[in-house]
């Protein structure tokens, strides 16, 4: 009887020895499975968060061309929201392309500047997740001409103390001369008060000839 009990105990000990690694393996497997599920859940939640954040923005891109249709490199493209103050700038590459990723939904004022071209402005609406693609044609800048006038202004009131009359070409058109070949004395006589001409065609001041 005692021998049978000892045999049963030995058998149980052997079975327990073999079962112990199986339990440990099962525990490790369960832990690995839980860790995998947690990682998958975290990645899924992060993807949903990223999608939710990206749903409020899209990309804005385009190409800048000159009047002939050739691309314009090194142009500066700026988008600006005057309400929120949001502003971004980007240069065009060698192919005339520019790009703004992750642009929030809003209305923007777009401006393009490039050397030798007139500034280009337009309004752009970004309202959906559909990417916005633009084609912008610049105009050649008009040549600016500036004229600088220097000099001193003449006095509006004459300061010459002597009595005189300014004679210019306009008097010939305004005065009733006898003919286009009339002498200067006729012009002076008609235009200057207190002057008269004698029979020789000479003019002098009215009064005693000796005083003139």
Domain ends where: 137, 154, 187? 137
Let me know whether 99 and 130 are in one domain.
Answer: yes
Residue 94 confidence (pLDDT) above 80? yes
Does 23 reside within a domain? Answer: yes
Residue 152 lies in a domain: no
Which residues does 158 contact at the CB level (< 8 Å), separation at least 6?
Answer: none
pLDDT in tens, 106-163: 999 999 999 999 999 999 999 999 999 999 999 998 765 566 766 666 555 666 666 6
Domains identified in the chain, total number? 3
Same domain, 85 and 104: yes
* Size of the chain in residues: 212
Buried/exposed 125-152: b ≥16 CB within 10 Å, e otherwise: ebeeeeebeeebebeeeeeeeeeeeeee
Q: Is the domain of 40 the same as that of 67?
A: no
User: 174 or 88: whose pLDDT is higher?
Assistant: 88
Question: pLDDT per residue over 64-84, tens digit each?
Answer: 999 999 999 999 999 999 988
Cα–Cα dist 205/212, whole Å: 6
Any domain includes 184: yes
pLDDT at 30: 72
Average of per-residue pLDDT values in the chain = 75
Domain of 204, in residue numbers: 169-211
Q: pLDDT at position 199, please?
A: 64
Instruction: Find residue 108's DSSP bridge partners.
Output: 124
The pTM (predicted TM-score) of the whole model is: 0.46
Which pair of tokens denotes residue 131? 């990417």
Question: Does the residue 144 lie in any domain?
Answer: no
Query: What confidence score (pLDDT) does residue 164 get?
Result: 65
């Amino acid at each position: 009887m005692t021998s049978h009990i000892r045999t049963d105990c030995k058998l149980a000990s052997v079975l327990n020895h073999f079962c112990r690694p199986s339990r440990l393996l099962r525990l490790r497997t369960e832990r690995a499975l839980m860790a995998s599920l947690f990682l998958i859940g975290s990645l899924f939640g992060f993807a949903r968060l990223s999608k939710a954040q990206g749903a409020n923005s899209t990309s804005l891109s385009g190409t800048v061309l000159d009047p002939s249709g050739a691309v314009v490199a090194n142009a500066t493209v700026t988008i600006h929201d005057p309400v929120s103050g949001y502003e971004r700038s980007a240069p065009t590459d060698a192919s005339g392309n520019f790009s703004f990723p992750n642009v929030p939904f809003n209305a923007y004022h777009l401006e393009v500047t490039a050397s030798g071209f007139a500034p280009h402005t337009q309004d752009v609406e970004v309202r959906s997740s559909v990417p916005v693609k633009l084609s912008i044609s610049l105009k050649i800048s008009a040549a600016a001409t500036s004229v600088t006038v220097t000099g001193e202004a003449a006095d509006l009131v004459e300061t010459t103390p002597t009595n005189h009359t300014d004679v210019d070409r306009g008097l010939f058109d305004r005065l009733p001369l006898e003919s286009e070949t009339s002498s200067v004395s006729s012009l002076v006589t008609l235009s200057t008060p207190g002057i008269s001409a004698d029979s020789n065609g000479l003019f002098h001041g009215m009064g005693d000839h000796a005083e003139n």
